[in-house]
């Protein structure tokens, strides 16, 4: 039997890991949008419940101030979601705009843009984010600004490389020869062809930003007390690791589960969109 016919009769499907990862991320999203109506008591101090382990009363236990870890974990999910998606969206827009224009125009503009990207790439992203957060001070808005300044570079490099390859194709050259306007060429003939790699970069960027936000909060440069973040929850729990390991285990598991799910989702989308693997 012809294997070519088999490929045509069996269209590509998403792997099971995609649906598992999507379910976890959907749960994350539901927690975020439900947080205002859950009446969480994440900052309620109960001195008689300090460092209590998980029980039927509270399945995740209490921290060193008697605050319920479950409530603080759910509040921290909203912070991680806001920072990750806020930074990713800003970086996607800015990086794609700069990279697309640079790759399309070429010349001096492209040369200057590449040099700026090289300067940013010369510094480790997390160290630059730490320096910027230290200069601007802690807080969720400053964390978003600091991480956005660092994160746009990847999108700019990717979009520039894609545009440099696509603008030499026949349909783009034909549009130029017919006198089409530059913005029309970019919007109709180039941007639709670079959406797929940008989506994949976006998904992997979410995972890195969740870790970056937790890292900044762990170092005291991100979300400040009494507001909860998975990073500062791990920081607080590290002082009581032997007496109350649940203070570190549960936020650590939440962080690992979200990052792993985002990476699996990105892998699945990349494999699905890869024409060569079909």
pLDDT above 90: percentage of residues in the chain: 27
Give the residue, 80 or 11, on which the prediction is more confident: 80
- Report residue 36's pLDDT band, with 50, 70 and 90 as the boundaries: confident
pLDDT in tens, 142-187: 888 889 988 899 999 999 998 888 888 888 888 878 777 877 888 8
Nearest to 233 by CA among 46, 79, 44, 76: 76
**Cβ partners under 8 Å of residue 12, min gap 6:** 272, 278
- Give the model's pLDDT for residue 275: 52
Query: pTM value?
Result: 0.85
Q: What is the DSSP letter of 37?
A: G
Q: Which residue has the tokens 């991320």?
A: 25
Q: Report the 10 Å Cβ neighbour count for 192.
A: 10
Return the structure tokens found at 120: 């940013």
The CA dihedral of 152, 153, 154, 158, to the nearest 10 degrees, is 110
Q: What is the mean pLDDT of the chain?
A: 85
32-63: burial string, b at 16+ Cβ within 10 Å, e else: beebeeeebebeeeeeebeebeeeeebebbbb
**Cβ partners under 8 Å of residue 53, min gap 6:** 61, 244, 246
Q: Which residue has the tokens 């549960």?
A: 250
Walk me through the domains of the chain, giving residue ranges and CATH numbers.
60-277 (1.10.3720.10)
Judge whether residue 96 has pLDDT over 80.
Answer: yes
pLDDT in tens, 219-238: 888 888 788 889 999 998 98
Q: N- to C-terminal Cα distance for the chain?
A: 18
Judge whether residue 3 has pLDDT over 80.
Answer: no
pLDDT above 70: percentage of residues in the chain: 94
CA 122 to chain centre: 22
């Amino acid at each position: 039997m012809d294997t070519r016919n088999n490929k045509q009769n069996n269209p590509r499907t998403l792997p099971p890991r995609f649906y598992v990862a999507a379910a976890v991320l959907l749960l994350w999203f539901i927690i975020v949008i439900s947080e205002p109506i859950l009446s969480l008591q994440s900052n309620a101090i109960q001195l008689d419940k300090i460092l209590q382990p998980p029980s039927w009363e509270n399945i995740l236990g209490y921290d060193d101030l008697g605050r319920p870890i479950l409530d603080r974990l759910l509040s921290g999910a909203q912070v991680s979601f806001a920072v990750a998606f806020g930074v990713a969206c800003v970086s996607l827009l800015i990086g794609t705009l700069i990279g697309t224009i640079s790759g399309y125009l070429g010349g001096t503009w492209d040369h200057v843009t590449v040099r700026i990207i090289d300067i940013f790439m010369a510094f480790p992203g997390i160290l630059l984010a730490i320096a910027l957060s230290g200069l601007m001070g802690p807080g969720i808005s400053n964390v978003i600004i600091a991480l956005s300044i660092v994160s746009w570079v990847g999108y700019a490099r990717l979009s520039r490389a894609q545009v440099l390859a696509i603008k030499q194709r026949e349909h783009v050259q034909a549009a130029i020869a017919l006198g089409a306007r530059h913005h029309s060429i970019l919007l109709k003939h180039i941007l639709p062809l670079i959406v797929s790699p940008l989506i994949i970069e976006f998904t992997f960027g979410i995972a890195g930003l969740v870790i970056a936000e937790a890292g900044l909060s762990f170092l005291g440069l991100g979300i400040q007390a009494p507001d909860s973040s998975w990073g500062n929850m791990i920081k607080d729990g590290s002082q009581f690791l032997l007496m109350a390991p649940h203070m570190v285990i549960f936020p650590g598991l939440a962080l690992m589960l979200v990052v792993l799910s985002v990476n699996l989702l990105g892998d699945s989308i990349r494999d699905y969109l890869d024409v060569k693997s079909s």
